[in-house]
Chain A
Amino acid sequence: MTAHGGCDPRDSLMIDRLCAGDSDAWSEFIERYRRLIYSAIHRANGRFGAEWDDTVLDELFEEALYKLLRHDGRALRSWKGDCKLETWIYRIVRNVCIDRLRKEGRRREVAEPDGEKGAARSAGTERGRGVDSDLRISLEQAIETALSDREALAVKLIYFEGFTYREVADRMGLSVGAMSGLVFRALAKLRTDGGVARFWDES
């Protein structure tokens, strides 16, 4: 029996039975996780800016469920229980969606967060304006060398991966106020960093 330490023991038992070919466990797995998988695919559609229609979403669901269960649940058998089972399933869903984008010859994007962001963020997301590869490289270097790990992680999650301050604060165990302070200090460091100071123009 697989160890699956730290996870829900019911999940561990179900996966062991599933990998042994117990079709009751298959049914149990499908019943328990079908909505989770389908919901995650819908969110991936927004996350990747894919704009897949319902037909494609259904196909992705089928592919994800198939990959989870094929070969007596091989993809699930490799789960050791260090993370939550749901997260392991999300990984499979993510990989299926990214594979689909590749097959479509598309590059994955990260959609901007939903919600009311106002003109400032809208203006900030205009593409192709004034950021050349030199600046991109300079910014990444400055983030990784001039900032602490936490500052750099917060900046990248907010500005590279499209999370809100509140979302990153929640993930990193900080208040929004503390997070804005952290990012403020980070941007202040970037302001004085030689590589990117030329872009910090308040005039």
Chain B
Amino acid sequence: MKADKCLGGERLLLYAAGELTPEERAEVEEHVVSCAQCRAAAAGFEKLGRALREAGRLGRRDGGRTQSCPEDETLAAYADGSIAADRRPEIEHHLVGCRRCLAEVADLWRLAGPEVEEAPQRSVAAVVERLERESGAAIVRWTERALELVRGFGAELRAVVDGGPALAAATTRATPGAVALRWESGGGTRLEAEVSRERGGALLTGRVTFDGEAATAVSVSMRSSGGRRGPESPDPSGRFGPWPLAPGENTVSLRGIAGGEDLREELLLLLEADEKQGSGDAPAR
């Protein structure tokens, strides 16, 4: 660049805005040192730029929605380029006059980017625990058949709900020494189970209300990490039952299951959803 040749206004604008590379910037500075006209032009751009930034800083970004504001998703679609080309002009026209929406688009641009930060596992676990506590839905998991509730008694709760899309919701509550689960299918089957700590063991009481829609049997099992085993079960997995379910309310009780100071047992309640299931010991009523 020749020092005696005046610079274009656009270059001076980029210089004033700090948008040039160091090399380009050095070239411009070499010229403006000796050119009063370009120096004044750059100063003028800088002054207006400063005024514009200050005006932008002072303006409110967080005003409320107006009737003319696009829907949230329309604005988001503009921000990520998903919006149809023929809709861009109307959105841009709105953005010029609506600081709230302009700020939202600008924020979405700034927030988008590469996944460079690893989320802490403890935070993920905390959220899952909170969701489980509030809705119970997080502990519901579908597989092909049957309802299975596994509870580390006095410790963590995990429930696996099998049986197809009819079995849709479960809620749990837990208090020190006792847990309860209430579960309803979409079609009338309802199960309530409570586990409470007793001296030297635990008591599980299950009530199943059944309308013939899906579930046909319930069984209970217990796994222990070292405590004494409760009543003998013919099943190697420690399962008791299954007991067939009759229409109406069914109650299943097991008393005197393993205990100990360090209770690590898992109680497992299995609600069979297979229509062919049903033989086994009679439920305790």
Measured CB to CB, the residues of A under 8 A from B are 6, 20-24, 26, 30, 34-44, 46-47, 58, 61-62, 65-66, 69-72, 79-80, 82-84, 86-88, 90-91, 93-94, 98, 108-110, 116-127, 129-131, 133, 135-136, 139-140, 143-144, 149-150, 152-153, 155-167, 171, 176-177, 180-181, 183-184, 187-188, 190-191, 196, 199-203
Q: Are B17 and A163 in contact (CB under 8 A)?
A: no
Q: Mark B157-194, 1 if CB is under 8 A from A, else 0.
A: 00000000100110000000000000000000000000
Which secondary structure characterizes the binding site on chain A?
A: helix
CB neighbours of A156 from chain B (8 A): 56, 95-96, 102
Given A23-B137, A136-B58, A159-B16 contact (CB < 8 Å)? no
Asked if B262 lies at the interface with its beta carbon under 8 angstroms from chain A, I say no
Interface residues on B, range: 35 or more
A47 to B105, CA, bound (A): 13
* Cβ-neighbour of A23 out of B122, B139, B168 (below 8 A): B139
Q: Are A200 and B127 in contact (CB under 8 A)?
A: no
Asked if B27 lies at the interface with its beta carbon under 8 angstroms from chain A, I say no
Asked if B6 lies at the interface with its beta carbon under 8 angstroms from chain A, I say no
A120 to B16, CA, bound (A): 5
- Please give the distance in Å from B131's CB to the nearest CB on chain A: 6
- Please give the distance in Å from A186's CB to the nearest CB on chain B: 10
Which secondary structure characterizes the binding site on chain B?
A: helix
**Contacts A82-B77, A82-B83 known; 10 new A-B pairs at CB < 8 A:** A44-B111, A61-B120, A122-B18, A123-B50, A126-B50, A153-B92, A159-B56, A166-B19, A199-B47, A199-B48
Q: Mark B187-211, 1 if CB is under 8 A from A, else 0.
A: 0000000000000000000000000
CB neighbours of B33 from chain A (8 A): none
Query: What are 16 contact pairs spanning A and B, CB under 8 A?
Result: A24-B141, A30-B128, A35-B116, A61-B120, A65-B124, A82-B77, A83-B76, A88-B73, A88-B76, A91-B72, A110-B56, A129-B50, A149-B92, A200-B44, A200-B48, A202-B40
Chain A: CB-nearest residue to B52 = A159
Q: Are B18 and A120 in contact (CB under 8 A)?
A: yes
CB neighbours of A79 from chain B (8 A): 73
Q: Are B54 and A38 in contact (CB under 8 A)?
A: no
